[in-house]
Amino acid sequence: MKVAVVILNWNGEALLKRFLPSVMEHSEGADIYVVDNASTDGSVPFLEANYPSIGIVRNTYNGGFAKGYNDGLRNIEADIFCLLNSDVEVTPNWLGPIKEGFETIPGVSIIQPKILDLKQRDHFEYAGAAGGFLDALGYPFCRGRIFQSIEKDHGQYDDVRQIFWATGACMFIKSETFRSLGGFDEDYFAHQEEIDLCWRAQNAGHKVYYVGQSHIYHLGGSTLSNMNPKKTFLNFRNSLYSITKNLPRKKALPIVFLRLILDGIAAARFVFQLKINHCLAILHAHISFYGNFRKMYRKREKANFILKYHIVTSIVWSYFVHQVKNFNILVKD
């Protein structure tokens, strides 16, 4: 099983200097690539001078996470692609349990390891934690992280479990699956494109799993922090895109309508918090969604739809009304 660890880079020379050593040390048997999104810093000269064994794929411009990976992976041959953020510290034998998962789990096409916080190493990290899920309205959350509530890791998720979406911070995917799905949707640019990809994969009959015996440490927020209005814009708009594309019409349209109302409430909350830029970001997200609705709707016509996509009715109600902030309380297997 040939694995390619592929890191997308844009002006991330400092991150490459900090995090590449662990990837090189602990990725025995894998090929390492950096896909560079037309960086203007010293990233590429640094790689050429210090890591001649790393394959460098140069994109002609910065098309974001989605297009960056789509363009880069066309030039890489492997059985398994590991899409790895540039701000990740990997650990000894992190690849072993993942390879075993692909060899032993029936129907699996995508796998995520445990994602821990580099700054607080005994806690899960926001982007992915112990695997992603959706509620009935399409709101994403994770085992180990619900909204801003982050759980401490004390082995409660050291398991192998089917999940709904795997984080783009560290996603392993069969190359044939990635290519058969047409890769990431480039209209997303960045953020939640991995949720859409996993949703489309399951609509096509593939399975997504979490393997907790493998773990990495993620810095997070290196491109856009959670406090950046652009991230608010992308998350709100792209979530609406995914619902429109990946659900049957009778489900998608009512859910989109409800989401627009709830998004308006979220915008009002930002006003009360004096975060006006985030309120405006939601407004711009809706305007962009309206402008691209027909395009997204045409994409859904190509899909077969799974009916079971959520494990709770409303994560918003459970979290903010019932104050449920722990996944194992929220969902009791």
Cα separation of 174 and 111, whole Å?
9
Looking at residue 290, its pLDDT comes to: 97
Cα separation of 282 and 155, whole Å?
37
What single-letter amino acid sits at 140? P
Average pLDDT, the chain: 95
Looking at the chain, the number of H-run helices and the number of E-run strands are 11, 13
Cα separation of 140 and 264, whole Å?
18
pLDDT digit string (tens) for 105-125? Answer: 999 999 999 999 999 999 999
pTM: 0.95
Q: pLDDT tier at 227 (50, 70, 90 boundaries)?
A: confident
State yes or no: pLDDT of 98 exceeds 90: yes
Cα separation of 58 and 9, whole Å?
10
What single-letter amino acid sits at 297? Y
pLDDT digit string (tens) for 52-86? Answer: 999 999 999 999 999 999 999 999 999 999 999 99
Architecture in CATH of 3-218 = Alpha-Beta Complex (3.90)
What single-letter amino acid sits at 2? K
Distance from the first to the final alpha carbon of the chain? 33
Looking at residue 301, its pLDDT comes to: 67
Q: pLDDT tier at 220 (50, 70, 90 boundaries)?
A: confident
DSSP for residue 143 = T
Beta strand 160-162 with 207-218 is: antiparallel
Cα separation of 44 and 258, whole Å?
46
Cα separation of 318 and 20, whole Å?
40
Structural contact between residues 59 and 30, judged by C-beta atoms closer than 8 angstroms: no
Q: pLDDT tier at 304 (50, 70, 90 boundaries)?
A: confident
All residues at 6 or more sequence positions from 254 whose CB lies less than 8 Å from its CB, including other chains: none
All residues at 6 or more sequence positions from 275 whose CB lies less than 8 Å from its CB, including other chains: none
CATH 3.90.550.10: which residues of the chain? 3-218
Looking at residue 222, its pLDDT comes to: 57
